[in-house]
Amino acid sequence: MTNETEYNKTLILIVDDNQQNLKVLGNILRENTKYGLAFAMNGFEALDFISTTKPDMVLLDVMMPDMDGYEVCRQIKKDPKTANIPVIFITAKTEAEDAVLGFEAGGVDYISKPFHETELLMRIRTHLDLKLSRDMLEEKNRELQGAYETIEKLALTDSLTGLANRRSIMNQLAVEVSRCDRNGGFFSLIMCDIDFFKRVNDTYGHDTGDYVLRNVADVMRANLRQQDIVSRWGGEEFLIMLPLTELEKAVSVAEKLREAIKSTEMSFAGENFRVTMTFGVSGYDKGMGIEHSIKKADDALYTGKQTGRNKVVMAE
């Protein structure tokens, strides 16, 4: 196995069990191109090289001992990591059936010996250009997919707290409702609100208010299960979905959150303070629908606000 490569060069692997054939092809490419070259004298050597150093093209003889060129090509195309490498068969086999076998194995071209140098170089350049175009298109597609996923995530995320936003949790509630309606499952909702939040903004400023919202979001995340969904419903109000959670258990979860937030000392811009939250809890009512279930949690929250705050109220 030999190779003549430079950093960033297009690399062509030539595979032939005849050293004279390797020399002829190598000289043609050295004299007429600036491609990097690598050489292998059998299929196993070629596949070993390709597994560690991915060439841009393979020029492949058909008739080789132990493993013929068709099988080498099939092995290259079977591996997703190397499947996009163009393989050109250069062989003394001239029957149409042989060319068909080459294309069926995954080759992009089939050149019979003796060949014309100009034609050979043109075909090599054409298939390398096609590969470059495909590679660029795939890279652009990956970039576009990444950009789309970023935009989609931003569209479903509250930018201040990093929580799911209202649109996101409504989408996830629709999925959960469908699952429950289909399988007879259940889930609960918690609507909660920071007590006297306007007073925080008026006393300490909106930067402090933003800090409180982020801090409260972190505390709730830390005290919920991975499958629970907490969202910023709007302003200082949050909606939480608890899958496979009965109403009584949801009340316990809300109480745990209330205690955790109440006991969290916050510090911002030299000010130390604490906040409390009020919680309304409801279960999903299949007969009344999700909007009604959310309203029941919101009504329970309102009752808590009207009767002293810093408490958990279960919907009737």
Question: In tens digits, what is the pLDDT along the chain, a chain of 316 residues?
Answer: 666 655 458 899 999 999 999 999 999 999 998 899 999 999 999 999 999 989 999 999 999 988 999 999 999 999 999 999 999 999 888 788 888 999 999 999 999 888 889 999 999 999 999 999 998 999 999 988 988 888 887 888 999 999 999 999 999 999 999 998 888 889 999 999 999 999 999 988 999 999 999 999 999 999 999 999 999 999 999 999 999 999 999 999 999 999 999 999 999 988 889 999 999 999 998 888 899 999 999 999 999 999 999 999 999 8
Beta bridge partners of 158: none
Whether 117 is a known active-site residue: answer: no
Query: What global pTM score does this model have?
Result: 0.60
Its sign, for the CA torsion 62, 64, 67, 72, is: negative
DSSP 21: H
> How far is residue 190's CA from residue 242's CA, in Å, rounded to a whole number?
8
Q: Helix and strand tally (H, E) in the chain? A: 10, 13
DSSP for 140-152, please give it: HHHHHHHHHHHHH
Active-site hit among 97, 139, 149, 236: 236
22 Cβ contact partners less than 8 Å away, ≥ 6 residues apart: 14, 16, 39, 41
DSSP for 65-99, please give it: SSS-HHHHHHHHHHSTTTTTS-EEEEES---HHHH
> How far is residue 57's CA from residue 172's CA, in Å, rounded to a whole number?
47
Q: Do residues 80 and 111 lie in contact, with contact meaning Cβ atoms separated by under 8 Å?
A: no
Q: Which two tokens stand for residue 43?
A: 């299929």
Specify the pLDDT at position 8: 56
Specify the pLDDT at position 7: 47
Q: Which two tokens stand for residue 294?
A: 């959310």
